[in-house]
């Protein structure tokens, strides 16, 4: 049972070029394939016609690397909750559907080409403090610091972030708060992170602002699209951490 799918895809030759939505029709789409496999098929078709294939990023195709990210019918990563673009299957669509595909849009994520954006700002936020400073070779025994199961689980919930940027794409303010707060929460919960706790939150929030991401105004759109279902409670924790650090450090 193959389907006909109409696509409207954002095409933009380079960062500063004018972009536009271009329509394509796919005639033989199997419901078993993934959304990105449908785009692979489209690209093979375009290459054979001597046209420029659609540039999009993807790598693991199982929802863990955070490379892929498309806005599908206005929703970052598409209609399925807790799911990355690459996990989305065509069986969730029906023949005759028209699907609009756009890149993650944010001032902090400039477009490189078509659906490919530059998310290096996330790396710079992590560089500003998203780690525990522990040189190789200096660690005590792994069981030297017991960490309660509940704390470990909560830290893991935050650590599950894949850095895809859907939170930014979904936010009306293009805020990177969910991404930044996930790392801050993980390391604030764990005892290993305590030595640098205050500097970490101050520096990471400052870097987030410097990258032209907007402020958080509690829309919670980020949580709704997050493929790892990271809770906006991490943002609340980031604010508490920030307040405590700002009050004691300055």
Partner 1 sequence: MADKWTYFKSHAKLVSPANKRKFKILVVGTGLAGGAAAASLGELGYQVHCFCLQDSARRAHSVAAQGGINAAKNYQNDGDSVFRLFYDTVKGGDFRSREANVYRLAELSVNIIDQCVAQGVPFAREYGGHLANRSFGGAQVSRTFYARGQTGQQLLLGAYGSLMRQVHAKTVEMHERHELLDIVLVDGHARGIICRNLVTGEIERHAGDAVLLCTGGYSTVFYLSTNAVNCNATAIWRAHKRGALFANPCFTQIHPTCIPQLGDEQSKLTLMSESLRNDGRVWVPAKADDTRPPAQIPEGERDYFLERRYPAFGNLVPRDIASRAAKHECDDGKGVGPGKRSVYLDFAQAIVRLGHTTVEQRYGNLFAMYDEITGDDPYHTPMRIYPAPHYTMGGLWVDYHLQSTIPGLFVLGEANFSDHGANRLGASALMQGLADGYFVIPYTLGDYLASHKHKPVDKDGPAFFEAKDNVTGNIKRLLDNKGSRTVREIHWDLGRIMWNKVGMARDEAGLKSAIDEIARLRDEFWSNVKVSGTGEQLNKDLEFAGRVADFLELGELMARDALTREESCGGHFRTEYQTEEGEARRQDDKFMCAQAWEWTGDAKNPKLHREELTFEEVSPGQRSYK
Give the nearer residue to partner 1 in terms of CB position, either 200 or 221: 200
| Cα 73 to Cα 55: distance, rounded to the nearest angstrom | 18
In the complex, what is the shortest distance from the CB of residue 159 to partner 1, in angstroms, rounded to a whole number? 5
Sign of CA dihedral 104, 106, 109, 114: positive
In the complex, what is the shortest distance from the CB of residue 219 to partner 1, in angstroms, rounded to a whole number? 26
Give the nearer residue to partner 1 in terms of CB position, either 19 or 163: 163
In the complex, what is the shortest distance from the CB of residue 217 to partner 1, in angstroms, rounded to a whole number? 27
Give the nearer residue to partner 1 in terms of CB position, either 203 or 219: 203
In the complex, what is the shortest distance from the CB of residue 118 to partner 1, in angstroms, rounded to a whole number? 7
Give the nearer residue to partner 1 in terms of CB position, either 123 or 215: 123
Cα–Cα distances in angstroms (integers) from residue 186 to residues 25, 152, 179, 192, in the given order: 45, 9, 11, 10
């Amino acid at each position: 049972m193959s389907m006909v799918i109409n696509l409207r895809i954002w095409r933009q030759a380079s960062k500063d070029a004018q972009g536009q939505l271009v329509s394509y029709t796919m005639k033989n789409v199997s419901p078993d394939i993934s959304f990105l496999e449908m785009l692979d098929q489209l690209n093979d078709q375009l290459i054979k016609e001597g046209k420029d294939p659609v540039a999009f990023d993807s790598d693991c195709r199982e929802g863990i690397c955070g490379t892929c990210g498309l806005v599908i019918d206005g929703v970052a990563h598409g209609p399925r909750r807790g799911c990355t673009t690459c996990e989305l299957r065509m069986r969730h669509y029906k023949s005759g559907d028209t699907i609009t595909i756009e890149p993650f849009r944010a001032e902090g994520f400039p477009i490189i080409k078509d659906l490919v954006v530059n998310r290096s700002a996330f790396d710079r936020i992590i560089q500003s403090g998203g780690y525990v400073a522990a040189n190789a070779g200096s660690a005590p025994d792994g069981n030297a610091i017991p960490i309660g199961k509940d704390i470990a689980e909560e830290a893991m919930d935050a650590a599950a972030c894949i850095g895809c940027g859907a939170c930014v794409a979904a936010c009306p303010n293009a805020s990177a708060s969910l991404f930044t707060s996930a790392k801050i929460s993980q390391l604030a919960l764990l005892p290993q992170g305590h030595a640098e706790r205050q500097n970490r939150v101050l520096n990471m929030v400052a870097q987030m602002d410097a990258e032209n991401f907007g402020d958080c105004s509690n829309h919670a759109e980020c949580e709704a699209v997050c493929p790892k279902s990271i809770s906006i409670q991490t943002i609340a924790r980031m604010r508490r951490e920030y307040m405590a650090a700002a009050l004691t450090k300055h």
